Structure 1
């Protein structure tokens, strides 16, 4: 007979309080790229998902089935909201001509007085597509129904892989796209496979011809940034095992060049982020994107920390974040990748209605996209909740105290509750919310409970309780009443 065990707590995988990396641990996210918009950071990534063999065993990630992108966002860089997936390629995607969607790059530009958003994606190594939207979260459409970068463009001859786009909208509104990779036979030291190309004013066409970027030991993961009038082109070096000249990037490292013009000429500088294996004891490819948020520079990159913690690294990657320091003369100092992550940008507001798929830490939960939703219901909810599972929010600001906590739940059982704890998983319980049977997992109801005295800034943990080995309920949102 199952028993309720209020001492049981599910162990987190890879990401443990108070650390900030990886950013989320309930799903993967590779090849991250950042958009800063309306005081939030949106991160778009390749949607790595487990592949299985005929016996049901997890196999190596071969990338060939990936045709969606995954999106998360944050206003404080420690609590992240899951926005689900973007259906990009394939019969169910916006770009039905494409087979895959890898390594997204996103840009925002005001055109004819309206915000427009553009995601450039790699259709494996064959070509690069573009989808557009009026919002950073979609819906997305393919405006040209064909690749924006293909092998018939002038200047791309000799590039093995037309992939890994990066995009820059310059101060004058002109857009530039950067792409390419691979190593022609015997050309390890100077593959000459990185390219830059001007975009049309509409951001969905190209102008002129692609220009080469002389990136030593170039392999993949091009990036572009502008700082203090200088353009920084960064990339991942190849895995050539022979001797390298002094100052050249080692295998699988992120290095960069600088220029005073978005299309060169370029001058090589140095590498600044070693391969993930140097920091996390699990190697693999290296992919990155730098961005500025609230006057601080950051680098998003991936590592196989979550999958390794599950014992199945096999090429399944998760997004991490660390700070970028520019030294004298704009030199990028060496990045120290770690599990600690970055400092919060601001405290979290617990008085707003918060989607339950917003979290700093979690254990045991999954995220589900609701079908046939209307505007009054969230699109994504927490699901597969069992006894001892939990989520955590970092640095909630209770300057105005709290009298009540309100949750939106759906349940088909009579035995479930939520403990609200502060500061740690075994911290004081400030509220216990009894979750009723709402008539099924498709029937949502608001439930509230009183809150004991609280003030100041605290981490908040929602610990889910009920009968062991039984799915308890689904959680859509929560908020505190002042």
Structure 2
């Protein structure tokens, strides 16, 4: 078996088939959708990996989960550049997402930074796309009132609060002398259409040692603005301030546009937990009455032996005390506990996984290929590749058969294991596809009825075939 880039049993990072930075979560119909900056390796003329300077990023990676450990890969939104929806833009950094019913129909919105010089907005009828640009220009630019002098006009966050919605953005330190109070955070009311501004942006006052990374949540009736502190926080003042360099810090207000009162640090720089740090970027979200923190770290590239600043997303639990304050969050590789179980009797996309090694995902279908996101298939299979799924509940009656949707030009085998990817397989399927273009169903009886709750592992032999979905019967 090929070596995974995360330990079996761990939930972090949430995705290892590619990078995903600056995570933003949207909960819709009992699923969490994560949108992430599409970090991608930059190479020099000799083929060596260069330090990540974010210049080649024009995609937004999308995954979703109903249990926070098994994530379905929905691909990469072509957000900016000539191929992207916002073809006028050059980069797509730090996405934010929201949904809202408009004219009787649910619409989905992606906000992202065009480098450090403005905010774009895309819209879709689905949380996974296709996303298009409804205004064909920046939503926020340096021509927007009050924004010309914002050092970094980026890192949006969005809050839908009843009938109103708000956009938060900005960051950067204009000069060393202004490090303690840069004055570069902004908030603006969004129009009812979510693709326009309703009034001029306002400065969020007295954001102590602001660096970047807007966050916004409504918790227990209070508006919690959060951000990453800059790297000029004096060491001797960390106790007085309640935070240090590169830490996620909170502020609180009674109204969505402030005024905000300074709070404390809640998530230290990832270096404190994983030994490698850098910029710190986060979002908080509530799912099944529990709050969570999504943030990025460099543990995926650490396992790859790269250490060039390429980021991946983690999720850990948030604890809110009785007085409403958020207790310091611990970054872990173990991650969060599974919320519920996965149903193996429902057809699951093969791109749904908790852990894997030696596979890739690719867009499937006309829209996904054109726009980058949507349905995905598992490809790049070779002997020793595998996929793991956590916590599938087979119930008391149990499963007796497994089915796969397969296509390809060569033959191989899929070995199905329960709990650990070795020992005696419960099924062995001949991955003999009838077509290179169309997916067909192959099935196999299980060696014994499977009951109860188990982790599932698919271990592959051979190559030249691809998977679309699977289900137990």
TM-score by length of 1: 0.93
- Residue 249 of structure 1, CA deviation: 2.2
Inter-partner Cα distance in structure 2 for 1:372 and 1:194: 40
- Residue 363 of structure 1, CA deviation: 0.9
- Residue 313 of structure 1, CA deviation: 2.1
Inter-partner Cα distance in structure 2 for 1:158 and 1:463: 55
> Counterpart in 1 of 2:216?
224
* Match status 1:266 vs 2:293: no
> Counterpart in 2 of 1:393?
389
Question: Paired residue for 1:40, among 27, 31, 41?
Answer: 31
- Residue 204 of structure 1, CA deviation: 1.1
* Match status 1:423 vs 2:414: no
> Counterpart in 1 of 2:345?
351
Inter-partner Cα distance in structure 2 for 1:428 and 1:373: 41
Question: Paired residue for 2:439, among 435, 439, 444?
Answer: 444
Indicate conservation of the 8 Å contact 1:217/1:249, yes or no: no
- Residue 374 of structure 1, CA deviation: 10
* Match status 1:314 vs 2:314: no
- Residue 23 of structure 1, CA deviation: 0.2
Indicate conservation of the 8 Å contact 2:181/2:210, yes or no: yes
Inter-partner Cα distance in structure 2 for 1:297 and 1:247: 25
- Residue 382 of structure 1, CA deviation: 1.1
Inter-partner Cα distance in structure 2 for 1:438 and 1:51: 39
> Counterpart in 2 of 1:297?
291
Q: Deviations over 1:279-298 (max 9, x none)?
A: 01111110000000110000
* Match status 1:238 vs 2:230: yes
- Residue 243 of structure 1, CA deviation: 4.5
Indicate conservation of the 8 Å contact 1:387/1:472, yes or no: no
Indicate conservation of the 8 Å contact 1:234/1:256, yes or no: yes
> Counterpart in 2 of 1:336?
330
> Counterpart in 2 of 1:175?
165
Three-state SS of the structure 1 residue aligned to 2:241 is coil
* Match status 1:61 vs 2:88: no
Change (3 A) 1:169 1:319: same
**Aligned length in residues:** 463
Inter-partner Cα distance in structure 1 for 2:158 and 2:415: 45
Inter-partner Cα distance in structure 1 for 2:234 and 2:289: 41
* Match status 1:109 vs 2:100: yes
* Match status 1:363 vs 2:357: yes
- Residue 437 of structure 1, CA deviation: 4.8
- Residue 241 of structure 1, CA deviation: 6.1
TM-score by length of 2: 0.95
- Residue 411 of structure 1, CA deviation: 2.7
**Runs of 5+ consecutive residues of structure 1 not aligned to the other structure:** 1-8
Question: Paired residue for 1:99, among 76, 83, 90?
Answer: 90
> Counterpart in 2 of 1:3?
none
